[in-house]
A and B are shown apart, each in its own frame.
Chain A
Amino acid sequence: MSISLDTGVRFSLEIDGVATTAPAGATILDVCRAVGVDTPTLCYLETLTPVNVCRVCVVELEGARTLVPACSRVVEDGMKIRTDSERVRASRRMVLEFLASSVDVSLADDMQRQMKRYGAKPERFGAEARTVRQPVKVDNELYVRDYSKCILCYKCVEACGSDAQNTFAIATAGRGFDAHISTEFNVGLPDSACVYCGNCIGVCPTGALMFVSEHEMREAGTWDEARQTKTDTICGYCGVGCTLTVHAQDNEIVKVSSPADHDVTHGHLCIKGRFGWKFVGVKKRRSDG
């Protein structure tokens, strides 16, 4: 979460040779964004505590032995930062290559864009490169977990834990390359603490967590975002007033999200807002067909 402790103090710093200022408490990423430097991020989200694990946002800080993560490094007066050096480009490129060589990132749009930008060639690690490929977990009627697409950005864990949902149904288990998102003893979601708020789906950047509706339509080849509409509405289940963004294709609701910048939800919902339409839809489809 970017904290702007605006005490009025502003630090002077330099980004790619251009002088700028930033308030105390800002991160390097905040400054990059303020001055329009396109900085890739994968594990960072405004609404979550930075975990700084993906390392795709690294920048070169004069005087530092290693590169530093822009998303979590707080600015100090006099910092000289390079975001476009060959050293930075090489690190960002290879981080993207590491991920794309081991994970199915075909649905991670922003990552695809950054891979093009940095000229990433994940195939350079060979056809035998180890991957996280595994069967999709389909254990409930609402959403699927396809961990072949998981880049381990920790966002779902944070959204399920103290940053939003406070349910703690999932956590990172295992170690090293075998580290993965899991429930206790890998039990299915119906046996876990999960309350199907879908907040993890909302923050997942790679499509690893997906509505069953979307998963089935993609499998059937009928998912087509070009034909979809998005309509904002207020959830009618209770008095909180969450904004729902209803995604529909051919007049059928296919999923529900909530804007991350909404000051009530911060993108987070509960089962009723997120999945309540499902029951309407299910009935409708049944009577239709």
Chain B
Amino acid sequence: MDLHHLTDEPTAEERAAVDALLGPYLENGVSGREARSQRHLLLPALHAVADRVGWVSRGALGYICRRLTVPPADAFGVVSFYDLLSTEPLPPLTVRICDDVACMAAGCDALIGDVEKRFGPEGASNSGAAWLRSPCLGLCEQAPAALLTSAGVKPRVAALAPAALASIEAALANSAEAALGNSAGIDVDEPCSLPQAGEPQLRLLRRIGRGDPLDLDAYRGAGGYGALSRAFDLGPDGVIREILASKLIGRGGAAFPTGRKWEAVAREPEHPHYVVCNADESEPGTFKDRVLMEEDPFAVIEAMTIAAFAVGSEQGYIYIRGEYGRARERIVAAIAAARAAGLLGADVMKRGLRFDIEVRRGAGAYICGEETALFNSIEGFRGEPRNKPPFPVRKGLFGKPTVVNNVETLVNVLDIVTNGGATYAAIGTPDAAGTKLFCVSGHVAQPGLYEVTFGTTLRALLDRAGGVRGGAALQAVLVGGAAGAFVLPDELDAPLTFAGMREVKAALGSGVVIVFDQSVDLAAIVRRIARFFRHESCGQCVPCRIGTVRQEESLDRLALAHGAGVDDEMRLLHEIGQVMRDASICGLGQTASSAVESALAKLPVFGAGRSA
């Protein structure tokens, strides 16, 4: 391929950052064919540059394109897809302040107002630093949340939560030192996310909070890698039999039976097979996978290894959202430790399994959690979902049969293999086996990550979280996140199962439970959700690209409408919702109207009450 390239040269720093990833550049040392197969390094190379200098200049993009033989127009299309990558100059230090639903309940609007007064408008450079708005950062239990990213030789991505004007001021003002990797003056709180820590009934969370999560010996001492050892004894078919018997259902939102997925990939004659762990977790209100990766990284790695053994895969990928700095650091460290101990690599546990895991980092795009968009993102393309069929079990990553599972789904595998599928299936209810993690945030006394048996009622979960903060009256609960629905105070006795939530016209989704007391303007929350989808639409298909814009516009008009105008807008919203559900390519467009429709049907601020 004879490509036309940008003529701008990279700076020495940009070149060094790319070379550190790709090795020194040998002019004409790599043939076009070899280089083309390196396209999957495009996103890592873009990250390398942004990590070093804060943004991606023409010179840097041109250099990356020359090295990887990617057409510059294509690469520009990729950079401009992601929120965390900028093609405009951006100072090396940024603070992204979450303005999403859980943080709204925690008063982020006032905080952002103060920051704006003090530092000027969003994005404006302020002696080497800038602040930006962000969708949910996955720190909702510590709301209001902010995220600090600093570029340099030692780049950092660190949570700033709960964020206050003082800590944001310190972060922005300390720009020089921070950029050099000196974190003095920057307040990074340890998470306090596990109100149930140490309780005896915990399964998924039982190891958490019991010491250093990166201590492999401690992990093994507590039974870790027993499941993999048992998997080797069972053989691949035996493992799949146990997963099928367990009735495990995926926890990433689509609720697909895991055993059937593994069985399908195991049977595909085409090779290689891939195992992908979906750790993109960007559904507003969700933070469970972050906690699992930060606090129990070996569990995720062991479970991926079991999946690889079962489906015959030698290569795994874990795709972690770009905002999760600590989770990524810990997973990377745990992979290195596992490799050093022979638990990953050419002969895992000396049982003849070859398997290794590569960590990939998202760059700020909710849509990349959709499995086929995630594949495109790893492969170095825009994170646009693919049309299905074909499904990933047949044509997934690099067009090959692929198992893709959510982090929480995978962690369940350990107990299933250890104790047997039947034992697992006996927990919970007939339609929902096992335990489920819930991300509880908003106006509750003790926000955090909770593990409960399927079938527990929403009321019991809220009681366990200490009820509405300050004993205030409950207004509504958003279950399932932005793609979810509202549950009202008189519906709290619904059991937390797939069927139970359907009864109250909601869905479990990824386990989001955001609690709103009477002080919250739910119409503003609904408009925020509409804005979220408009911002996160990949833009590929018409119903979602334009439908999410029209939905947001209509909600804005509805806020000001009277009488017959209200009915007209509501009718239009239903029609827009129907078409997005029916004709969109992927789950994003198909669920972009869920919370809006739920609000129209249930919430007094919208419902029949207004138009009457």
Question: CB distance B540 to A53 under 8 Å?
Answer: yes
Q: Which residues of B contact A173 (CB under 8 A)?
A: 73, 76-77, 80-81
- 8 A Cβ contacts from B145-179 to A: none
Given the complex, which residues of A lie within 8 Å of B535, measured CB to CB? 176
Q: Give residues of chain A (125-174) contacting chain B, Cβ–Cβ below 8 Å.
A: 125-126, 128-130, 151-152, 166-174
* Interface assignment of A192: CB less than 8 Å from any CB of chain B: yes
Which listed residue, A56, A167, A178, A192, touches B539 by the CB 8 Å rule?
Answer: A178
Check B16 for interface membership: any CB of A closer than 8 A: no
- A94 and chain B: residue at smallest CB distance: B579
Q: A91–B579 contact, CB under 8 A?
A: yes
**How long is the Cα–Cα vector from A193 to B71 in the complex, in angstroms?**
9
Which A residue sits closest to B382, measured CB to CB? A172
Central interface residue in B6, B548, B579, B584, by most chain A CB within 10 Å? B579
Other-chain contact of B538, A55, A69, A175 (Cβ < 8 Å) = A175
Given A95-B542, A184-B73, A184-B76, do A176 and B537 touch, yes or no (CB 8 Å)?
Answer: yes
Interface residue SS majority, chain A: loop
Contact B545 A66 (CB under 8 A): no
| Alpha-carbon separation in the docked complex, A94 to B551 (Å) | 13
How many angstroms from the CA of A126 to the CA of B561 in the assembled complex? 13
The answer to whether A175 and B1 have CB atoms under 8 Å apart is no
Closest Cβ neighbor of A92 among chain B residues:
B583
Question: Are A184 and B6 in touch, CB under 8 angstroms?
Answer: yes
Beta-carbon nearest neighbor of B87 in chain A: A185
Which of the segments B424-432, B444-452, B473-481, B570-578 contacts the partner chain?
A: B570-578
Does B4 touch A at the CB level, under 8 Å?
yes
Write out, one digit per residue, whether chain B residues 576-595 have a CB within 8 A of any chain A CB (1) or not (0). 10110111110000100000
- Name the residue on A nearest B554 (C-beta): A125
Determine whether A67 belongs to the interface, using a CB cutoff of 8 Å to chain B: yes
Report Cα–Cα, A90/B571, bound state, in Å: 13
Does A35 interact with chain B (Cβ within 8 Å)?
A: no
Q: Say whether, besides A53-B585, A58-B583, A177-B534, A171 and B73 are in contact (CB < 8 Å).
A: yes
Tell me if A72 and B542 are in contact (CB < 8 A): no
Question: Which of A72, A176, A182 touches B77 (beta carbons < 8 Å)?
Answer: A182
Q: Which residues of B contact A174 (CB under 8 A)?
A: 80-81, 539
Min Cβ gap A151→B in Å is 8
**Quick check: is B387 within 8 A (CB to CB) of the other chain?**
yes
Q: How far is the CA of A126 from the CA of B4 in the complex (A)?
A: 44
Q: Give the residues in chain A near B576, CB-CB below 8 Å.
A: 94
Interface residues of A, count at CB 8 A? 48
Question: Is A253 positioned at the interface, with any CB of B under 8 Å from its CB?
Answer: no
- Of B77, B548, B590, most A-chain CB atoms within 10 Å: B77
Say yes or no: is A286 at the interface (Cβ < 8 Å to chain B): no
A87 at the interface (CB under 8 A from B): yes
Chain A nearest Cβ from B495, distance in angstroms = 24
A137 CB, nearest partner CB in chain B, Å: 14
* List of B residues within 8 angstroms of A192 by Cβ: 4, 73
Dominant secondary structure of chain B at its interface with chain A: helix
Instruction: Assess whether B550 is interfacial by the CB under 8 Å rule.
Output: yes
B453 to A: closest C-beta gap in Å? 29
By size class, the interface of chain B is 35 or more
Docked CA distance A95–B543 (Å): 6
Do the beta carbons of A58 and B542 come within 8 Å of each other? no
Judging by beta carbons under 8 Å apart, are A129 and B553 in contact?
A: yes
The contact string, 1 if C-beta is below 8 Å from chain B, for chain A 55-66, is 110100000001
A55 lies within 8 A of B539 (CB): no
Whether the Cβ atoms of B542 and A171 lie closer than 8 Å is: no
Q: Is the CB of A185 within 8 A of B76?
A: yes
Query: Does B294 touch A at the CB level, under 8 Å?
Result: no
**Is B538's CB under 8 angstroms from A176's CB?**
yes
A175 to B75, CA, bound (A): 14
On chain B, the residues within 8 Å of A176 by CB distance are 534-539, 545, 548
Max chain A CB contacts within 10 Å: which of B4, B540, B541, B546?
B546
Least Cβ distance of A29 to chain B in Å?
14
Determine if B61 and A126 form an interchain contact, defined as CB atoms under 8 angstroms apart: no
Asked if A67 and B583 make an inter-chain contact with CB atoms under 8 angstroms apart, the answer reads yes
B329 contacts chain A at the CB level, 8 A cutoff: no
Q: Bound state CA distance, A178 and B87, in angstroms?
A: 15
In contact, B541 and A54 (Cβ under 8 angstroms): yes
Q: How far is the CA of A99 from the CA of B110 in the complex (A)?
A: 37
* Minimum Cβ distance to chain A for residue B499 (Å): 17
Of residues 41 to 73 in B, which have CB atoms within 8 Å of A's CB atoms?
Answer: 58, 61, 71-73
Assembled-state Cα–Cα distance A129/B71 (Å):
35
Which of B4, B73, B87, B535 counts the most A-chain CB atoms under 10 A from its CB? B73
Within 8 A of B (CB), among A167-207: 167-179, 182-185, 192-193
Q: Does A98 contact B (CB under 8 A)?
A: yes
Residue of A nearest to B550 (CB): A125
Q: A90-B578, A91-B583, A94-B579 are in contact. Are A99 and B542 (CB under 8 A)?
A: yes
Chain B: minimal CB distance from A235 (Å) = 23
**Which residues on B sit within 8 Å (CB–CB) of A182?**
73, 76-77, 80
With A173-B80, A176-B534, A184-B76 in contact, do A54 and B539 touch (Cβ < 8 Å)?
no
Does A102 have its Cβ within 8 Å of any Cβ on chain B?
Answer: yes
Within 8 A of B (CB), among A192-230: 192-193
Question: Which of the listed residues A166, A168, A178 has the most CB atoms from chain B within 10 Å of its own CB?
Answer: A168
Interface hits, A81-128 → B, CB 8 Å: 87, 90-91, 94-95, 98-99, 101-102, 124-126, 128
Q: Does A243 contact B (CB under 8 A)?
A: no
> In the assembly, what is the distance between CA of A66 and CA of B553, in Å?
25
Complex partner residue of B540 from A66, A87, A91, A179, CB under 8 angstroms: A179
Cβ of A257 < 8 Å from any Cβ of B? no
Interface centre among A51, A91, A185 (most CB of B within 10 A): A185
Query: A98's contact among B73, B536, B542, B557, by CB below 8 Å, is which?
Result: B542
Contact residues of B between 1 and 45, Cβ < 8 Å to A: 1, 3-4, 6
Give the distance in Å from the alpha carbon of A52 to the alpha carbon of B372 in the complex. Answer: 15
**Interchain CA distance A87-B581 in the complex, whole Å:** 11
Say yes or no: B536 contacts A94, CB within 8 Å. Answer: no
> Contact at A98–B541, with CB atoms within 8 Å?
no
Q: Which residues of B contact A177 (CB under 8 A)?
A: 534, 537, 539, 545-546, 548-549
Residues of B within 8 A of A183 (CB): 72-73, 76
| A-B residue pairs, 6 tightest by C-beta | A179-B539, A168-B71, A193-B4, A184-B72, A98-B546, A171-B77
Given contacts A99-B542, A176-B539, 9 further A-B contacts (CB under 8 A): A52-B541, A54-B542, A102-B546, A125-B553, A168-B71, A169-B71, A176-B538, A179-B539, A193-B4
6 A-B interface contacts by CB (under 8 A) = A91-B543, A128-B553, A171-B71, A173-B73, A179-B538, A193-B3
**Residues of chain A at the chain B interface (Cβ within 8 Å):** 51-56, 58, 66-67, 69, 72, 87, 90-91, 94-95, 98-99, 101-102, 124-126, 128-130, 151-152, 166-179, 182-185, 192-193
Residues of B at the A interface (CB closer than 8 Å) are: 1, 3-4, 6, 58, 61, 71-77, 80-81, 87, 365, 382, 387, 534-543, 545-550, 553-554, 557, 572, 575-576, 578-579, 581-585, 590
